[in-house]
Structure 1
């Protein structure tokens, strides 16, 4: 059965390609595969020139050589499939977009080897995963913190994974990639919008935290005030901000907003010093905050270019129930996501 599942690609070397490396020629011809994947296939004995197996990616090819690439079926996934319910916003042969709930870890890691989004995706996609790097697994090109909700795109094939990875690496500078977040923060900013351009690096003492570092990586966040919430005495006590990312650093929004004195409501890592402000909130808002149990951050907007059709796709997600309750309890009105 394993042999029946294999796909064989044949490449005939043209004269201009003669003398070039085998892996380079195959990468130029077999664009569904990354060069690293092709190198793995060569080293693994899955490539032959004529009837001779080649295991050297640097093997030089001759004009009129016939190169046969045998692609084995994807290996079983290392993360095991688990029947975890997913909110699927969009799915096709190349990708799927999900609305991640709070509390769901994206990728297996120490302390979270099961019950993750990857485990759920392996179960949901099944055989529709064509394999990322030869392993039947979903391609994660960006992540959301465990307690951040909202939109994520996941690749189902090597080709889609490469396309989406390029888009996220470019941060939308030359394409339609967009990432928008709704952030509930303490305090009311003194202007309607702004840009935070501060480099972020690993915290020098607390290795599980990030911080503003002169030697850190470039990080840029654009924000604008959507609504301002007032306390018992009518003073601005909190606000809802719409944030757009120009870069994608770990904890970027959380670190950036804390750096300008407006940390996320409910953030136990970057905003613990603002817990006393909860006493300024109306009673209903205090109750909603106590029930929240997480940072108040939601990825409401995701725009990508489809890997196959090249069409721009835009997805929006309403506030989840816990943040909608907080918004209402704070006295917030209608949020028009289509304008943001």
Structure 2
């Protein structure tokens, strides 16, 4: 490559971080070298400077400076397709020609990083056919379990991405929180902004932040010690549910980042008690896809301990 070029973002790459995009398309470029290019403004998106964490959108133009020789790319050990297929099969709740829905385990990252090589995206890459990349269309935190949707075709990726971005997908999470929210049902409308040192950013309330709305209702209580709460995110900000529950004084159990010591309950594992339980996905020319994931791992054990109803069906008021 003799000089910088402009590369258009494809649908297959919609929503991923810019550093992940470079890793996928230019594996010979080290993360440190990319960071230097970003600092100097040599890499731009639609003419503007961005950081490594910036998420790109289909149709945007990325300015790509001259790249090192591809022969310099590291050659990591390839994941076995058979092993990846077996692991994904254990997680798969639903699959058709265009969509595959997983019940993600707690503690498994969705995407990789500098020190993370075992993640959902690597499994998808290992089992993807040569002519079609199975791709993520939304994300969950590493320590959150539950429903995770992937697209098997470009057409499916397009309408799913638009549905998540356009907030036409109904989402319901289950959580165990410390204490009992008051009132027992309500709406949290508090703008959030990302702040803090690199690698330790947190979502915090701010009048200058992005609009963030969460509906909640208490389903069951363990005295005043903890509560089984259903959460309905109306918007989709990073760490929104975690930040909002901490804001009203009932942090999610196990969420030390937002709840600190207040997120601990004696006798329970100090692991995140947050689970994507239900999704209702509109489908073009077809009935909506209604998905529910059964609890597993430490949350299932906690629900058994408190005798909470794993078949609970929260009803959300239209005028809340």
- Pair in the same fold by TM > 0.5: yes
Q: Does the CA contact (< 8 Å) of 1:316 and 1:337 recur in 2? A: no
Match of 2:179 in 1: 187
In the alignment, is residue 159 of structure 1 matched against residue 155 of structure 2? yes
Q: Distance in 2 between matches of 1:254 and 1:92?
A: 32
Query: Could you tell me which of 256, 263, 266 is aligned with 2:244?
Result: 256
Match of 1:320 in 2: 296
Match of 2:265 in 1: 278
Match of 1:169 in 2: 165
Q: How does 1:179-218 map to 2 (within 5 A)?
A: 179-205=171-197, 207-218=200-211
Q: Distance in 2 between matches of 1:122 and 1:92?
A: 18
Q: TM-score, normalised by structure 2?
A: 0.68
Q: Distance in 1 between matches of 2:215 and 2:248?
A: 13
> Runs of 5+ in structure 1 lacking a partner?
1-32, 38-77, 132-136, 231-235, 280-285
User: Structure 1 192/317 Cα, relative in aligned 2: closer, same or farther at 3 Å?
Assistant: same
Q: Secondary structure at the match of 1:122?
A: helix
Q: Distance in 2 between matches of 1:339 and 1:186?
A: 20
Alpha-carbon offset, residue 204 of structure 1: 4.0
Q: Distance in 2 between matches of 1:223 and 1:312?
A: 23
CA deviations over 1:97-117 (Å, ceiling 9, x no partner): 0000011110122221x2110
Alpha-carbon offset, residue 123 of structure 1: 2.7
User: Structure 1 258/99 Cα, relative in aligned 2: closer, same or farther at 3 Å?
Assistant: same
Q: Distance in 1 between matches of 2:183 and 2:311?
A: 20
Larger radius of gyration: 1
Q: How does 1:20-99 map to 2 (within 5 A)?
A: 81-82=79-80, 83-84=83-84, 85-86=87-88, 87-99=91-103
> Runs of 5+ in structure 2 lacking a partner?
1-9, 15-74, 316-320
User: Structure 1 149/187 Cα, relative in aligned 2: closer, same or farther at 3 Å?
Assistant: same
Q: Distance in 2 between matches of 1:242 and 1:179?
A: 10
Q: Distance in 2 between matches of 1:105 and 1:179?
A: 20
Q: Distance in 2 between matches of 1:306 and 1:94?
A: 11
Match of 1:103 in 2: 107
Match of 2:57 in 1: none
Alpha-carbon offset, residue 339 of structure 1: 4.5
What RMSD in Å do the two structures reach over aligned CA positions? Answer: 2.5
Alpha-carbon offset, residue 338 of structure 1: 4.0
CA deviations over 1:233-272 (Å, ceiling 9, x no partner): xxx1110100011111111100010000010001120111
Q: Distance in 2 between matches of 1:118 and 1:138?
A: 9
Aligned residue pair count: 238
Q: Secondary structure at the match of 1:222?
A: strand
Q: TM-score, normalised by structure 1?
A: 0.64
Q: Distance in 2 between matches of 1:217 and 1:301?
A: 25
Q: Does the CA contact (< 8 Å) of 1:95 and 1:156 recur in 2? A: yes
